[in-house]
C-alpha cells in the first residue's frame, strides 16, 4: 500500500491531469451547457500539471514496478505537452464558438490526449509506450473528425484512423518480436540485452517495425503521406496540437526507445534513420514550395522539421538529444503561434487559407502580421529566433557523429525553406490588399500567442534557459 501511495505521489503531474480529465467528463455529463465549465477545469488542470512537471524536473525516479519514469525527461516533455494542450484549449475555444459547435467533449479529449502523450514520454516499458500511443491516438482520431457534418473532416479522420491503426499493427509486431528475443518489455532489460541480440534477425526486424511505426507518428518520409491531408481537414487548433504535442510525444517515445533502450550509435539502425531524415528534409521542403494552402504548407514544413530532428536521433549523441529537446520545446511555441494566427484569419467555410488571402495583412493588422512574421522567421531558422538554435544543435550533433553529409543536406534544405516562409511575409508586407481577421481574436488567445512570440525571441537570445534544464537527465 505504501508503495502504491508513493508511486502515485511521484507521478502527480500525470495523476492530477487524469483526475482533472475525469472530473471534466463528469461535469460535462452532469447537464447541458457545461462546455464553459469544462473548458476552465481543463485549462486549470493543464496549468497545474505544467507547474508540477516543472517542480519535478530534478528528481528522476521510476514508479509502478519500473513501468513509468517520473521527473527529468518525462517532466520536461510533460511541460511541452501541457503547454501545447493549454495553447490548443485556448485556440479551440474561440474557434469552436465562431462555428457555434462548442462542446465540452472537445476539451476533455484534448486533456486525455495530453495524458496519453505524458505516458509516452514517461514510459520505460514497451507496454506503457503502446498504451500511451493509443490513448493519444484514439483521442486524436475523434478530434480530427469532430466537425462531423463536414466532409473534409470525415475524410481526414478516416485517413488518419485507418493509417494510424495500420501502424499500430507494425508497432505491436515490433514490440512482440523484441519481447520474443529479449524476453522482457522493460527498457532496462532491453538495454542490457542489446549488445547480445542486436544482430539477431528477429530483433532487427522488430526494431525496423518500430522505426516504421515511429516514422509514421512523427510524419517522416516515406510514411508522411497522411500528414498533409489530415492537417488540412482537421480543425485548425487540432492541426496545431498534432503538429506540436503529438510530434513531441512521438519524438519523446522515439528518443526513449532508440537512445534509451537501444544503443544505436554507428549501427545500421542509425543509418536507416539518417536516410529517413535526409528524405524528410528534402521532400518536405521541396513539396512545401508548391503548396498554395497554408495548412498544407505547414504540414509539409512539419515533415521537414521532423527530418531535422531525426538527424539528431541518428547522430545518437548528447548534442543530438539536447538538440531534439530544445528543438521540440521551441517548435511547439512557434508552430502553435503560427497556427493560432492562421485560425483567426480563416473563415468559417475553410477559405482564406491561401497565400493570396494574406495580401496587405500588415496594413490592416500590423501587430498580428508582426507576430506571424516572428513565427515564420523562427520556423525558417533565421537568427536571433529560437528556431535557429534548434537547427544549430541537431546539425552540430550530426557533424560530431560523422554524418556531415546529413548536416549539409539539412543546411541546404533550410535555405530552400526560407523561400516559402518568407513568401508569406512578403505577401503580408509588400502586396497591396485588404486581408484582415474575421473578428478580433479572443483576449486570452491573443495574450497566449503574444507570449509564445516573446518566448520564441527569448529562447533565441538565451538558448541556455532550456539547455540548462535538460542537462540533468539526458540518456546519453
Residues that bind other proteins (CB under 8 A): 1, 3-4, 22, 25-26, 28-31, 127, 130-131, 134, 138, 141-142, 145, 148-152, 154-159, 161-162, 165-166, 168-169, 172-173, 175-177, 179-180, 183-185, 228-229, 232-233, 287, 290-291, 296
Q: What angle do CA 256, 258, 261 make, to 5 degrees?
A: 70
Q: How far is the CB of 238 from other proteins (least distance, A)?
A: 14
Q: How far is the CB of 353 from other proteins (least distance, A)?
A: 13
8 A C-beta contact, residue 296 and residue 237: no
Which residue, 7 or 321, has its beta carbon nearer to other proteins? 7
Torsions phi, psi for 438 (to 5 deg): -65, -50
Report the 10 Å Cβ neighbour count for 184.
14
Q: Is 31 exposed, middle or buried (0-12, 13-18, 19+ CB in 10 A)?
A: exposed
Q: Quote the crossing angle between the two packed helices 404-430 and 294-315, to the nearest 10°.
A: 160
Report the 10 Å Cβ neighbour count for 297.
25
Instruction: Tell me the sheet residues that pair with 68.
Output: 63, 123
Spatial distance between the Cα atoms of 122 and 77, rounded to a whole number of angstroms: 9
Query: In whole angstroms, how far apart are CA 448 and each of 29, 41, 257?
Result: 29, 18, 33
Residue 237 backbone zone (phi > 0: left; psi -120 to 50: alpha; other: beta): alpha
Q: How far is the CB of 418 from other proteins (least distance, A)?
A: 21
Cell of 29: 455529463
Instruction: Tell me the sheet residues that pair with 69.
Output: 62
Q: Quote the crossing angle between the two packed helices 386-400 and 318-345, to the nearest 10°.
A: 150
CA pseudo-torsion sign 204, 206, 211, 212: positive
Burial 362-397 (b: 16+ CB within 10 A, else e): bbebeebbebbbbbbbbbbbbeebbbbbbbbbbbbb
Which residue, 141 or 393, has its beta carbon nearer to other proteins? 141
Q: How far is the CB of 256 from other proteins (least distance, A)?
A: 18
Secondary structure class of 82 (helix, strand, coil): helix
Which residue, 189 or 465, has its beta carbon nearer to other proteins? 189
Amino acid at each position: 500500500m505504501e508503495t502504491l501511495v508513493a508511486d502515485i505521489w511521484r507521478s502527480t503531474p500525470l495523476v492530477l491531469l487524469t483526475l482533472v480529465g475525469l472530473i471534466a467528463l463528469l461535469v460535462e455529463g452532469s447537464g447541458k451547457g457545461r462546455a464553459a465549465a469544462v473548458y476552465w477545469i481543463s485549462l486549470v488542470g493543464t496549468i497545474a500539471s505544467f507547474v508540477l512537471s516543472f517542480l519535478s524536473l530534478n528528481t528522476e525516479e521510476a514508479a509502478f514496478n519500473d513501468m513509468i519514469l517520473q521527473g527529468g525527461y518525462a517532466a520536461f516533455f510533460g511541460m511541452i505537452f501541457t503547454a501545447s494542450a493549454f495553447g490548443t484549449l485556448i485556440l479551440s475555444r474561440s474557434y469552436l464558438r465562431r462555428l457555434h459547435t462548442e462542446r465540452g467533449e472537445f476539451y476533455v479529449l484534448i486533456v486525455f490526449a495530453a495524458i496519453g502523450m505524458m505516458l509516452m514520454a514517461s514510459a520505460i516499458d514497451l507496454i506503457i509506450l503502446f498504451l500511451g500511443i493509443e490513448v493519444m491516438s484514439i483521442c486524436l482520431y475523434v478530434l480530427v473528425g469532430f466537425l462531423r457534418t463536414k466532409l473534409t473532416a470525415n475524410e481526414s479522420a478516416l485517413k488518419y484512423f485507418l493509417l494510424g491503426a495500420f501502424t499500430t499493427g507494425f508497432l505491436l509486431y515490433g514490440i512482440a518480436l523484441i519481447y520474443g528475443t529479449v524476453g522482457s518489455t522493460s527498457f532496462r532489460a532491453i538495454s542490457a540485452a542489446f549488445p547480445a541480440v542486436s544482430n539477431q534477425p528477429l530483433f532487427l526486424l522488430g526494431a525496423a517495425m518500430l522505426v516504421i511505426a515511429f516514422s509514421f507518428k512523427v510524419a517522416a518520409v516515406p510514411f508522411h503521406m497522411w500528414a498533409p491531408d489530415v492537417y488540412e481537414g482537421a480543425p485548425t487548433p487540432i492541426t496545431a496540437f498534432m503538429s506540436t504535442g503529438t510530434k513531441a510525444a512521438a519524438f519523446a517515445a522515439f528518443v526513449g526507445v532508440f537512445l534509451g533502450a537501444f544503443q544505436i550509435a554507428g549501427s545500421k539502425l542509425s543509418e536507416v534513420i539518417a536516410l529517413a531524415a535526409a528524405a524528410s528534409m528534402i521532400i518536405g521542403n521541396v513539396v512545401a514550395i508548391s503548396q498554395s494552402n497554408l495548412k498544407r504548407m505547414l504540414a509539409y514544413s512539419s515533415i521537414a522539421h521532423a527530418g531535422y530532428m531525426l538527424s539528431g536521433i541518428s547522430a545518437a549523441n548528447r548534442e543530438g538529444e539536447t538538440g531534439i529537446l530544445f528543438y521540440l520545446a521551441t517548435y511547439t511555441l512557434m508552430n502553435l503561434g503560427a497556427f493560432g494566427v492562421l485560425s483567426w484569419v480563416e473563415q468559417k467555410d475553410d477559405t482564406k487559407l491561401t497565400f493570396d488571402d494574406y495580401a496587405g495583412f500588415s496594413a490592416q493588422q500590423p501587430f498580428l502580421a508582426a507576430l506571424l512574421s516572428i513565427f515564420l522567421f523562427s520556423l525558417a531558422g533565421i537568427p536571433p529566433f529560437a528556431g535557429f538554435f534548434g537547427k544549430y544543435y541537431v546539425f552540430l550533433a550530426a557533424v560530431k557523429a560523422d554524418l556531415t553529409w546529413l548536416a549539409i543536406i539539412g543546411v541546404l534544405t533550410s535555405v530552400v525553406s526560407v523561400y516559402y516562409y518568407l513568401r508569406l511575409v512578403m505577401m503580408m508586407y509588400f502586396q497591396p490588399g485588404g486581408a484582415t481577421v474575421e473578428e478580433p481574436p479572443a483576449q486570452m488567445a491573443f495574450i497566449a500567442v503574444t507570449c509564445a512570440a516573446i518566448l520564441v525571441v527569448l529562447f533565441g537570445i538565451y538558448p541556455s534557459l532550456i539547455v540548462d534544464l535538460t542537462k540533468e537527465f539526458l540518456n546519453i
